[in-house]
């Protein structure tokens, strides 16, 4: 198991072996998926991190998608 420590500012370093496995480089964006008491981390695609509906569950309804579709 690979571990890292969280600082007082809630920051952590992604271990080199994880960065290598995901092909992460400086400036890349990572995505987190919460699955119960686990979190999956992956390299985010350019489109996935810019989706406002991915961040805010309260904006994730059919009415919201229709209302914001032309913005």
**pLDDT tens across 22-58, in order?**
999 998 989 899 999 999 999 988 665 566 656 666 7
Q: Are 26 and 33 in contact (CB under 8 A)?
A: no
Decide: helix, strand or coil at residue 49: helix
pLDDT for the residue numbered 54: 62
Q: Are 43 and 22 in contact (CB under 8 A)?
A: yes
Q: pLDDT tier at 67 (50, 70, 90 boundaries)?
A: confident
pLDDT for the residue numbered 47: 62
CA 16 distance to own-chain centroid: 18
pTM above 0.95, yes or no: no
Asked if residue 59 has pLDDT above 80, the reply is no
- Please tell me the distance from the alpha carbon of residue 65 to that of residue 68, in angstroms, as a whole number: 5
């Amino acid at each position: 198991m690979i571990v890292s420590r969280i600082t007082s500012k809630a920051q952590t370093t992604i271990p080199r072996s994880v960065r290598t496995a995901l092909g992460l480089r400086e400036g890349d964006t990572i995505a987190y998926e919460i699955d119960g008491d686990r979190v999956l981390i992956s390299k985010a695609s350019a489109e996935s991190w810019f989706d406002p509906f991915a961040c805010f569950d309260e904006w994730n309804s059919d009415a919201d998608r229709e209302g914001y579709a032309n913005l």
